[in-house]
Amino acid sequence: MNRFEAEVLAQIQARGDAVSGRVLVACSGGGDSVALLVLLWTLRRSLDLELEVLHADHGLRAESAEDAELVRTLCRNLDLDLVEASLGVRAHQEAQRIGLEMAARELRWDWFRQEAEQAGAGAVATGHTLDDHTETVFLRLARGGGLGCLRPLAPRQGLRWSPLAEVRRAELRAYLAAKGVPWREDATNQEPFTARNRWRPLLEALRREAPDLDRHLFETHLQAAEAEELAQALVASWEGSRWWLRDAGIVLSRSPWTEPELRWTLEAAFRRLGWPREAALLRDLTPWLLSRLTRGRKPASWGHFCLNREPADGYLHLTTVPPPSRA
């Protein structure tokens, strides 16, 4: 085990990813997923893993046959079982009227789940990296995701396991080059047909100015996640005394609130009710609601929301069904 492999092992153990036993490794033949497979194969005994490889042909690129052959060769060299599938992405896209990227993801993960169930695997390992994390953050910021943008992507989320969540793409390619392991680059990752692809050259310019951008951003997110957990715990402790849900609405005590207290409470309640909770919406709604809770007796409306005054409390409910939240 070399130094880089030991660092990745230490990251996995420090996070407490809690993955062991049978794991399926998604390998496209690209640099991230090939490095993932080689790293997990090297660390398999330390992590008590039993590996099997999955390769999906999306039928979108003329070079896909070469990608598949590279993965087959790698699996033969590592003495690992490989399961392959051909996915009709374009047909699924047309049938569902969704984007090509989403269609590929839906079919891929449907297949992953089926294979995991048949194999008795507890996780599907994917090659998501620290670069992917940074890209996702900026995509969320562009959509107005508020504090949710500063929540780190979970290395373990359901069936998906991303062991390389704290590793840069460049580190993975340097690792493969040092080991003499080939990989293939997907040229479509450079084509500006998705928002993520359009962000990549912009982020590379930022990294030239701030080489440690990704790591600093990740550390900021860890701290933000801790602060968010503390705030959510405080709001949860108020449920039943300062606020509670009733008849698809929110009862709010007329006891004194600060704007941050009320805004955090609304975010928690809206999440439970499935209401929109974009940061800008909550920031605009909160001062209006705060003023109406402390004065006035008649019902008041703001956008899709209506506040009814009760003897000791206020009852906030929806007057119409709003568009779904993107947060």
Tell me what pLDDT residue 193 has: 66
* Interaxial angle between packed helices 195-209 and 213-238, expressed in degrees from 0 to 180 and rounded to the nearest 10: 110
> Is the same domain home to 135 and 79?
yes
Q: Which of 259, 253, 304 is nearest to 277 (CA)?
A: 304
Residues in the chain: 327
Helix, strand, coil share (%) of the chain residues, nearest 5 = 55, 15, 30
Cβ pair 163, 8 in contact under 8 A: yes
In a domain, 327, yes or no: no
CATH code for the domain of 282: 3.30.465
* Interaxial angle between packed helices 3-15 and 31-47, expressed in degrees from 0 to 180 and rounded to the nearest 10: 70
Count of other CB atoms within 10 angstroms of residue 19: 18
Tell me what pLDDT residue 322 has: 47
In a domain, 286, yes or no: yes
- Domain coverage including residue 132: 3-220
Give the DSSP letter string of 211-271.
Answer: TTHHHHHHHHHHHHHHHHHHHHHHHHHHBTTTEEEETTEEEEE-S---HHHHHHHHHHHHH
> Is the same domain home to 162 and 288?
no
In a domain, 225, yes or no: no
> Is the same domain home to 212 and 245?
no
CB-based contacts of 180: which residues, under 8 Å, 6+ apart?
A: none
Phi then psi dihedrals of residue 308, to 5 deg? -100, 130
Tell me what pLDDT residue 2 has: 94
In a domain, 133, yes or no: yes
Structure tokens at 26: 């998604």
> Is the same domain home to 155 and 298?
no
> Is the same domain home to 204 and 263?
no
pTM: 0.76
> Is the same domain home to 124 and 21?
yes
> Is the same domain home to 157 and 303?
no
Per-residue pLDDT of the chain (327 residues; tens, 9 = 90+): 899 999 999 999 999 998 999 999 999 999 999 999 999 999 999 999 999 999 998 877 778 889 999 999 999 999 999 999 988 888 888 888 888 788 888 999 999 999 999 999 999 999 999 999 888 888 888 877 666 677 667 888 899 999 999 999 999 999 999 999 999 987 666 677 678 888 888 999 999 999 999 999 888 888 888 888 899 999 999 999 999 999 889 999 988 899 999 999 999 999 999 998 888 889 999 999 998 887 767 888 998 899 988 877 888 888 764 444 444
> Is the same domain home to 150 and 258?
no
Count of other CB atoms within 10 angstroms of residue 170: 12
> Is the same domain home to 13 and 153?
yes
Burial state string for 216-233 with b = 16 or more CB within 10 A and e = fewer than 16: ebbeebeebeeebeebee
> Is the same domain home to 119 and 245?
no
Q: Is 245 left (phi over 0), alpha (psi -120 to 50) or beta?
A: beta
> Is the same domain home to 215 and 81?
yes
* Alpha-carbon 316 to chain mean position: 31
> Does residue 204 sit in helix, strand or coil?
helix
Tell me what pLDDT residue 126 has: 96
Give the domain-ending residue among 220, 254, 279: 220
> Does residue 1 sit in helix, strand or coil?
coil
Q: Which stretch of DSSP H or E encloses residue 32?
A: helix 31-47
Give the domain-ending residue among 155, 186, 220: 220
In a domain, 226, yes or no: no
Give the separation between CA 60 and CA 67, rounded to whole angstroms: 12
> Is the same domain home to 171 and 289?
no
In a domain, 279, yes or no: yes
CATH code for the domain of 71: 3.40.50.620
CB-based contacts of 261: which residues, under 8 Å, 6+ apart?
A: 235
Counted domains in the chain: 2
In a domain, 211, yes or no: yes
Give the separation between CA 211 and CA 204, rounded to whole angstroms: 9
Give the domain-ending residue among 220, 253, 270: 220
In a domain, 137, yes or no: yes
Q: Fill in the amino acid letter for 201.
A: P
